[in-house]
Structure 1
Amino acid sequence: MSVTNLGGRAPGRLAAVLPPVGVALAAGAVFAFVGAVDPNEPGHYPTCPFLWLTEQAFGTGLYCPGCGTLRTIHALAHLDVVAALGLNPLAVAVLPFLAFWWGRWTVRAWRGRPRRVTLAHPGYVYAFLVVVLVYWVVRNLPFGAFLAP
């Protein structure tokens, strides 16, 4: 018997919000773990695969768009927003949007509305991908060094 089909009956509100609550609990657990286990200490987390591969191939590592995100989460867990912005400003900028989409998902589930197939309008998704690609390139150029973690 699944959560969405309780023996042929329509799922209740509590059952409908279990997926968003589960995502919130998982995100909270990750946030708490990274807040407690400092990524600035060597040996706690693996190296970014892209950084490692480019270091092996070119002798100097290149940063991916996610480089610095663990340290950003750690800084945010300790309420150090300035340090978080210095490590990965894109990750900090994306958090309010993730919170908005999670909230919208939770409200829709609570109200019994069907889940949307798309997260956002495709134009917004493509624009976000362009922002991520530009960020990825610029943070590895000399004039974009302020974006490096």
Structure 2
Amino acid sequence: MVTGRTEGPRGARATALLAPLGVALAAGAAVAFVGAVDPGEPGHYPICPFLMLTGLYCPGCGGLRTVYALVHGDPVAALGLNPFVALMIPVLVVLWGRWTLRAWSGGTSRGAPAGRSVHPAYVWSLLALMVVFWIVRNLPFGEFLAP
């Protein structure tokens, strides 16, 4: 009688790491592309649709130039272009690291449930900060936040 192969702990661990490693590969390719193709030169990237339709900056406006500045080792310029994106990159790296460790450890990390890696209150707080940033950067006293 032939039975199906079952994955051992090593195979299950490798399979669980495919998603975080795939995300890291895709993000790395995107960052490499943005680092190679200057978003500050006209014609390489489309204009922000929100900016084009309303004349107002969205929370992501200046984000590509921020990544470009960071790739080229200029964090001061990155903070000047879009401080929200510049400060969120380390947060995303930490969250990706937690996800990878959770996948490596079999779904739990320090007793946290397998299905949730970030408490919903943090997600709602982040969204609220993003909306405040979005509004303030379009007001006269917040023009220093414009790209």
Q: Compute the TM-score of the two structures, normalised by the length of structure 2.
A: 0.88
In structure 2, relative to structure 1, the CA distance for the partners of 1:134 and 1:37 (3 Å cut) is: same
The residue that corresponds to 2:83 in the other structure is: 89
**Aligned-pair distance for 1:119?**
4.0
In structure 2, relative to structure 1, the CA distance for the partners of 1:142 and 1:7 (3 Å cut) is: farther
C-alpha offsets along residues 50-107 of structure 1, whole Å, 9 cap, x if unaligned?
Answer: 00011xxxxxx10000000000000001010000000000001111111111001101
The residue that corresponds to 1:17 in the other structure is: 17
The residue that corresponds to 1:48 in the other structure is: 48
Please list, as runs of the form range in 1=range in 2, the aligned pairs for 1:21-100 lying within 5 A after superposition. Answer: 21-54=21-54, 61-100=55-94
**Aligned-pair distance for 1:18?**
1.0
Aligned length: 138
How large is the Cα RMSD of the aligned pairs? 1.6
* Aligned residue type for 2:69: A
Structure 1 Cα separation of the partners of residues 23 and 64 of structure 2: 18
* Aligned residue type for 1:12: A
Structure 1 Cα separation of the partners of residues 14 and 117 of structure 2: 22
The secondary structure found in structure 1 opposite 2:118 is: coil
Percent of aligned positions that are identical: 61
Structure 1: tracts of 5 or more residues without a match: 1-5, 55-60
Structure 2 Cα separation of the partners of residues 68 and 39 of structure 1: 9
**Aligned-pair distance for 1:48?**
0.2
Q: Compute the TM-score of the two structures, normalised by the length of structure 1.
A: 0.87
**Aligned-pair distance for 1:113?**
1.8
The residue that corresponds to 2:106 in the other structure is: 112
Which aligned runs of 4 or more in structure 1 are off by greater than 6 angstroms?
none
Structure 2 Cα separation of the partners of residues 119 and 138 of structure 1: 30
**Aligned-pair distance for 1:109?**
0.8
**Aligned-pair distance for 1:129?**
1.0
The secondary structure found in structure 2 opposite 1:17 is: helix
Structure 2 Cα separation of the partners of residues 67 and 138 of structure 1: 13
In structure 2, relative to structure 1, the CA distance for the partners of 1:20 and 1:53 (3 Å cut) is: same
**Aligned-pair distance for 1:13?**
2.0
Structure 2 Cα separation of the partners of residues 139 and 112 of structure 1: 42
